[in-house]
């Protein structure tokens, strides 16, 4: 069984590499423009993607906890394959809309299931203390794959941008074949009846009853939204900064190389800053990245993106580790799905607004508004978290 759990970790790494070798990412803006779609279309179509995840996230996470994380990952990869195939052969708004819906369902089934499977595979071996390091390493390997994809785009230079999506479909097919080798941990062999009441109970416990867990989930969701929004802002930023198309892939590679470095060093940064200051570090640099980028839309401003992407890389493994520490195995995927649901809800609501502001006013204004919103909301959550810890330390009742 221990060898199966070790194989799970290796396979999860390879699946991450296949998923994140995203040849299409450096050329998304160009592909949309080629299909007569503007910045607003880019934002609202990805808001649909987030909306689909919002609708499917909790049910899929609950099914992963009840029917198995391995099965959930396989279903997610099949939907991902369908989504990229739709992108590869579709045209215009309707073709892209079908693609985003399929990709949203696929992401919902994988989100939370992969981290839960990793944590429980380590728990099976009594190695859960290595979760942060391995989560950071696997995430970092995925980011290096995305960076390598950026360089590959520059080197391959397909005559048709559509071919990048064809290759992505092949990679998702390979990831599904790898997922056939995953094994469910014995710790998670228990299966319960699936019902809406149980789902609502877990969500209510996560967001209201367990105050420590809820504040980590809310803070992690704000950070996740900041990262997700910047992924699309960065496309427009590089374009508006006047960077030559031939350098798009190189810049994307460097940005994701920074995320990888941050992810792989997340356990060291967590120890260096400490439990509380680490959260302030994350919020300050991510919100600050937006504010600085708003005033430096030029090739020089890409330095702001580099710092942002490094901190983004450190944030997600650290915050997932915090959530896992306060979550039981039987509901781990559902709780992680709650986090992802809030991220997608935020983007589904705010993404189109940011797209309109970018298109109608300016990229600078949209970045500035997003940065202020992230700073204020994150500060409020950290204040509540700090107040709760002080009340607990003084012996007062927190709940």
Q: pLDDT by residue (tens digit) across 264-289?
A: 888 888 888 877 788 899 999 999 98
pLDDT at position 213, please? 80
pTM of this prediction?
0.69
CB 125 within 8 A of CB 185: no
pLDDT at position 395, please? 36
| Burial zone of 157 (CB within 10 Å; 0-12 exposed, 13-18 middle, 19+ buried) | exposed
pLDDT at position 187, please? 60
Distance (Å, rounded) from C-alpha 193 to C-alpha 182?
23
Q: Which position has the higher pLDDT, 331 or 145?
A: 145
With a pLDDT cut of 70, the percent of the chain lying above it is 87
Q: Report the CATH number of the 2-182+196-393 domain.
A: 1.20.1250.20
State yes or no: pLDDT of 372 exceeds 90.
yes
State yes or no: pLDDT of 106 exceeds 90.
yes
State yes or no: pLDDT of 399 exceeds 60.
no
Distance (Å, rounded) from C-alpha 357 to C-alpha 367?
9
| Dihedral sign (CA 64, 142, 245, 299) | positive
| 201-207 contacts, C-beta under 8 A, 24 or more apart | 202/62, 202/331, 202/334, 202/335, 202/338, 203/58, 203/334, 203/338, 206/334, 206/335, 206/338, 207/338
Tell me the pLDDT of the chain averaged across its residues. 81
C-alpha closest to that of 13 among 147, 188, 135:
135
| Dihedral sign (CA 145, 111, 53, 97) | positive
Of the pLDDT bands very low, low, confident and very high (cuts 50, 70, 90), residue 300 is: confident
């Amino acid at each position: 069984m221990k060898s199966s759990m070790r194989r799970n970790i290796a396979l999860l790494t390879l699946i991450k590499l296949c998923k994140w070798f995203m040849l299409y990412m450096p050329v998304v803006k160009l592909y949309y423009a080629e299909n007569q779609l503007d910045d607003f279309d880019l934002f609202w179509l990805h808001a649909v993607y987030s909306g689909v995840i919002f609708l499917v996230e909790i049910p899929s996470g609950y099914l992963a906890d009840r029917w198995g994380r391995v099965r959930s990952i396989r279903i997610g990869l099949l939907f991902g394959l369908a989504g990229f195939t739709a992108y590869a052969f579709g045209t215009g708004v309707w073709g892209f809309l079908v693609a985003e819906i399929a990709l949203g369902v696929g992401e919902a089934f994988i989100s939370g299931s992969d981290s839960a499977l990793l944590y429980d595979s380590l728990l099976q071996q009594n190695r859960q203390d290595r979760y942060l390091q391995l989560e950071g390493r696997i995430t970092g390997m995925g980011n290096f794959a995305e960076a390598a994809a950026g360089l590959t785009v520059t080197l391959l230079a397909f005559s048709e941008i559509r071919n990048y999506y064809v290759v992505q479909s092949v990679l998702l097919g390979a990831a599904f074949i790898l997922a056939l080798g995953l094994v469910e941990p014995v710790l998670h062999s228990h299966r319960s009846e699936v019902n809406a009441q149980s789902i609502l109970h877990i969500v209510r416990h996560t967001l209201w009853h367990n105050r420590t867990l809820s504040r980590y989930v809310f803070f992690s969701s704000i950070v996740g939204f900041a990262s997700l929004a910047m992924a699309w802002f960065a496309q427009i930023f590089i374009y508006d900064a006047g960077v030559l198309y031939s350098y798009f892939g190189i810049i994307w590679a460097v940005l994701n190389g920074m995320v990888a470095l941050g992810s792989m060093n997340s356990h060291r940064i967590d120890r260096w800053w400490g439990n509380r200051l680490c959260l302030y570090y994350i919020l300050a640099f991510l919100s600050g990245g937006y504010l600085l980028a708003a005033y430096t839309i030029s090739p020089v401003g890409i330095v702001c993106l580099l710092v942002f992407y490094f901190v983004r890389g450190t944030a997600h493994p650290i915050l997932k580790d915090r959530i896992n520490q306060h979550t039981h195995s039987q509901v781990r995927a559902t709780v992680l799905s709650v986090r992802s649901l809030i991220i997608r809800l935020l983007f589904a609501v705010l993404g189109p607004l940011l797209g309109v502001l970018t298109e109608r006013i300016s990229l600078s204004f949209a970045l500035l508004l997003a940065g202020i919103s992230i700073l204020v909301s994150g500060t409020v959550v950290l204040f509540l978290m700090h107040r709760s810890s002080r009340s607990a330390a003084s012996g007062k009742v927190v709940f």
